Amino acid sequence: MEAIRVEDLTKHFEGIVAVNQIRFEVKQGELFGLLGPNGAGKTTTINLLATLLKPTSGRAWVAGYDILTERNQVRRSIGIVFQDPALDVKLTGRENLEFHAMMYGYSKAERQIKIKEVLKLVDLEDKADLLVEKYSGGMKRRLEIARGLIHEPKVLFLDEPTLGLDAQTRRKIWEYIKKLNQEKKVTIILTTHYLEEADYLCQKVAIMDRGVIIAMDEPQKLKDMLGGDILSFELENNYYSGRWQEKLKNLPWVKSFSWENNSFSLTTELGERRIPEIMEMARQEGLAIKSVHLHKPSLEDVYLYFTGRKIRDEDGILETRNQRAKRLSWRR
């Protein structure tokens, strides 16, 4: 049975289409990722499903409840960790959780049990009585996750849960997210523009771009679509030969090929075994290869395959398909 079902969900903002007729399902207990750059429509989708926004058209059900006609039931069934911090920093961690549990009508005895449980889950038991203003960024994020779980939601929304955190802290947050998904069997919808985060955490991902879902499947199946390893070669000098390019393109084991300036890239199975063969072909052609790079397809390559450009980083920088082919590996 699905925890979330979305049918042609659409949201317009003053003529701008933020979410455009998206459709997907999330199974109970699944960790599902919405992957894409800033502005792709991920947060708008979360806000629609959490009943914080009303859709322009389309329908959706969360935990079996209609987001339009059963809004209160939806809200009682979900937890949410927003992209921007929403803690009272003048209270302790325990007091933040206490206030949140009171909002859900738990008795004092019930609150004590639940607070102890969620603090243990996110490893903040020894920091519970410290003012939140003294917490690190990672501790604040863990406290927000604990707060989102205190009423035992059926579905938990995590909107960019590791945004702005250092790599080490981000990895710790990943472990807490996996733990609560596996131990608590909570269905989790995660939005992120960190490709490695989605690859590590999610059992299924939907790649969004400009409000549209352009690909959706298990991460490994999406990577398998690219058809093999990605090999990149950089030449000593700028060199162009139509005959050489045609020779490479027509090799039966080359599935895709690109050339730009003094480098070329291709995709093939068993890439390690093909490197010596290509090096020998280059030698016969009189070419000097400066460097060779091999890597397995990643979600970044999948994103590039479908959009033609690299996903934006935290600074909003966008890398074109040609630039990535020159820098790293592969271009369709």
Distances (CA, A) of 189 to 43, 49, 222, 253: 11, 10, 19, 39
| pLDDT: which is higher, 309 or 113 | 113
CATH number among 3.40.50.720, 3.40.50.300, 1.10.275.10, 1.10.10.10, domain 2-219: 3.40.50.300
Within the chain, strands assigned E span 2-13, 16-27, 31-35, 57-62, 65-66, 78-81, 155-159, 187-192, 204-209, 212-217, 229-235, 256-260, 263-268, 289-295
Tell me the fold of 226-327.
Answer: Alpha-Beta Plaits (3.30.70)
pLDDT (tens digit, 9 = 90+) per residue, 243-297?
778 888 889 998 888 787 788 888 888 888 999 999 998 888 888 899 999 988 8
Please give the pLDDT value at position 309: 64
**Percent of the chain at pLDDT above 70?**
91
Please give the pLDDT value at position 15: 86
* 3 has pLDDT over 90: yes
Q: How many residues does the chain have?
A: 332
Please tell me the pTM assigned to this model. Answer: 0.78
| CA–CA dist 153, 161 (Å, integer) | 17
| CA–CA dist 112, 332 (Å, integer) | 57
Q: Yes or no: say if 32 and 26 are a contact pair by the CB < 8 Å rule.
A: yes
Please give the pLDDT value at position 319: 39
pLDDT tier, 241 (very low <50, low <70, confident <90, very high otherwise): low
| CA–CA dist 306, 284 (Å, integer) | 36
* Pair of tokens at residue 180: 């609560």
- Other beta carbons within 10 angstroms of residue 175's beta carbon come to 12
Residues 211-227: what's their mean pLDDT?
A: 90
pLDDT tier, 239 (very low <50, low <70, confident <90, very high otherwise): low
Residues 77-94: what's their mean pLDDT?
A: 93
| CA–CA dist 255, 229 (Å, integer) | 10
| CA–CA dist 225, 246 (Å, integer) | 24
Gyration radius of the chain's alpha carbons: 24
323 SS3 class: helix
Please give the pLDDT value at position 242: 72
Q: Yes or no: say if 222 and 302 are a contact pair by the CB < 8 Å rule.
A: yes
Q: Taking the alpha carbons of 120, 124, 126, 129 in that order, is the dihedral positive or negative?
A: negative
pLDDT (tens digit, 9 = 90+) per residue, 60-75?
999 999 999 999 999 9
Picking from 79-83, 183-187, 222-226, 243-247, which range would have the lowest pLDDT averaged per residue? 243-247
pLDDT (tens digit, 9 = 90+) per residue, 180-209?
898 888 999 999 988 899 999 999 999 999
| Structural domain boundaries in the chain | 2-219, 226-327
CA angle centred on 154, ends 48 and 190, rounded to 5°: 55
pLDDT (tens digit, 9 = 90+) per residue, 34-52?
998 888 999 999 999 999 9
pLDDT (tens digit, 9 = 90+) per residue, 125-180?
999 999 999 999 999 999 999 999 999 999 999 999 998 888 888 898 999 899 88
Distances (CA, A) of 97 to 86, 115, 174, 194: 12, 7, 21, 29
Backbone angles phi, psi at 231, to 5 degrees: -110, 135
Please give the pLDDT value at position 323: 41
pLDDT (tens digit, 9 = 90+) per residue, 293-326?
998 888 888 887 787 666 654 434 343 334 443 3
* 105 has pLDDT over 50: yes
